[in-house]
Amino acid sequence: MGMMSEFKEFAMRGNVIDLAVGVVIGAAFGKIVTVLVEDVIMPPIGLLIGGVDFSSIAITLKAATVDAAGEVVPAVQIGIGNFINALITFVIIAFAIFMVVKAINRMSRKPEAAPAEPSEEILLLREIRNSLQR
């Protein structure tokens, strides 16, 4: 079997295509949640804690300077606010995926079958046991 035909067989399996669709939808969903967190959720939270914009929270390791040529050397900062936004985004995405998986599991769960009636042999053995106990 040639490499191209092997690759075609691999790529056309249902699981691979499902995975590709899931990745594309997941990326789009991630962008939606990122916008939701940054533009809808974080501004009210920042307002509640005193007008803080989380994306601007940073620890400055080295302040911006101007070198001898007159060019501005940007500051070196650790963007803690961006990390907080990413963390909240992750929690929201994880919760949403959890809810979707939970709903899918609930829909795909097979109803529990009623226990089957015992066979005639079992019923006969029970009668024998009961009569011996008397």
| CATH code of the domain covering residue 92 | 1.10.1200.120
Q: How many domains does the chain have?
A: 1
Compute how many other C-beta atoms are within 10 angstroms of the C-beta atom of residue 111: 5
Give 84-96 pLDDT, tens digit per residue. 878 887 888 788 7
At 129, is the pLDDT very low, low, confident or very high (cuts 50, 70, 90)?
very high
**Residue-level pLDDT at 76:** 92
**Residue closest to 85 by CA, chosen among 128, 39, 17:** 39
**Residue-level pLDDT at 110:** 72
Place of tokens 């691999």: 10
Give 4-63 pLDDT, tens digit per residue. 888 777 777 767 777 788 888 888 888 888 888 778 887 887 788 777 777 778 899 999
Please give the Cα distance from 104 to 16 (Å, whole number). Answer: 20
**Residue closest to 76 by CA, chosen among 53, 58, 56, 57:** 58
The residues, any chain, with a CB within 8 Å of residue 57's CB and separated by 6 or more, are 79, 80, 81, 84
Please give the Cα distance from 17 to 31 (Å, whole number). Answer: 22
Are 47 and 74 contacting, i.e. CB atoms less than 8 angstroms apart? Answer: no
**Residue-level pLDDT at 128:** 92
pTM: 0.52
Expressed as residue numbers, the domain containing 59 is 3-133
